[in-house]
Chains A and B, each alone.
Chain A
Amino acid sequence: AQKITQTQPGMFVQEKEAVTLDCTYDTSDQSYGLFWYKQPSSGEMIFLIYQGSYDEQNATEGRYSLNFQKARKSANLVISASQLGDSAMYFCAMRVHSGGYQKVTFGIGTKLQVIP
C-alpha cells in the first residue's frame, strides 16, 4: 500500500522568505512519481512540480523546487521568495503502477499563510 504523510497542518512564512513544506512517502514500488499541487481558496487544484523516482536531480519549476531524498523517502517542497499569492493549501501526491493501472495517493495537505 502507498502512503503520503504531511505532518504540518499549517505554516506561516514572511513575504519574500523561503519556506519548506514537508512530505514523506511510503511505497514498495521502485518506480513512482511524486507531485505537489496547490489549492488556493478558490478551490481549484493546480499542478506545481513533479519528481520521478529515478530522477537524479531535484526538480525545479520557477520558485518551486523539490528536495528529493530517496533514502529518507522524503519529497519536500521548497518555495523561494514567498509571495502573498502563495497562501493556499499544498498537497503532496504519489503515483505508482498498481496491477497494470496507475494509482495516485494524496497527503492531507499543509495550509500555508504568507504574512506581509
Chain B
Amino acid sequence: NAGVTQTPKFQVLKTGQSMTLQCAQDMNHEYMSWYRQDPGMGLRLIHYSVGAGITDQGEVPNGYNVSRSTTEDFPLRLLSAAPSQTSVYFCASSYLGRGLEETQYFGPGTRLLVL
C-alpha cells in the first residue's frame, strides 16, 4: 500500500494563479480531509469528506474548493492564490465507522509559497 500520497511536494505560485493539490489514498478510507499547518497555529481543518460526492467545510475553508468524485481522490483547489495561503498542506484519511480510536493517516505534505 502506498498509503496517502500528495503531489506536488513543493510549489511556488504568483498571486492570483490557480492550482490543484492532489491527494490520493489506497486504503479504501471513507473519511478524507485537508489541513493547513502554519507556525504557532497547529493544523487547521480546511475541508473534509465522508465519502464520494459528500464534502463539507472545516475551520478555514475560504479560498479553497474541494470535490470527491471517487473514494481514492480528494483534490484541493486554490482558485486565486493569495500570499496568506502560503503554508504546508496535509491531506489525511481514515475509516469512518470504526469508532473514535481510528487514527488518521497523513500524507507527506505539500509546501506552498505564494508570492
Contact = CB atoms under 8 A, between A and B. Distances in A.
Interface of A: 4, 6, 9, 31-33, 35, 43-45, 47, 50, 52-53, 91, 93, 95-97, 101-109
Contacts of B40: 9, 108
Interface residues of B, number: 25
15 contacts: A4-B42, A32-B100, A33-B99, A45-B90, A47-B105, A50-B103, A52-B100, A96-B100, A101-B50, A101-B56, A102-B96, A105-B45, A106-B42, A108-B40, A108-B42
Interface of B: 31, 33, 35, 40-45, 48, 50, 56, 88, 90, 92, 96, 99-101, 103-106, 108-109
Q: Is the interface of A mostly helix, strand, loop or mixed?
A: strand
B99 to A, nearest CB: 8
Contacts of A106: 35, 42-44
A104 B56 contact: no
Contacts of B92: 45
Nearest to B49: A101
Contacts of A108: 40-42
Contacts of B35: 106
Given A52-B101, A91-B43, 11 more contacts: A35-B103, A44-B106, A47-B104, A50-B103, A91-B42, A96-B100, A97-B100, A102-B31, A108-B40, A108-B42, A109-B42
Nearest to B88: A43
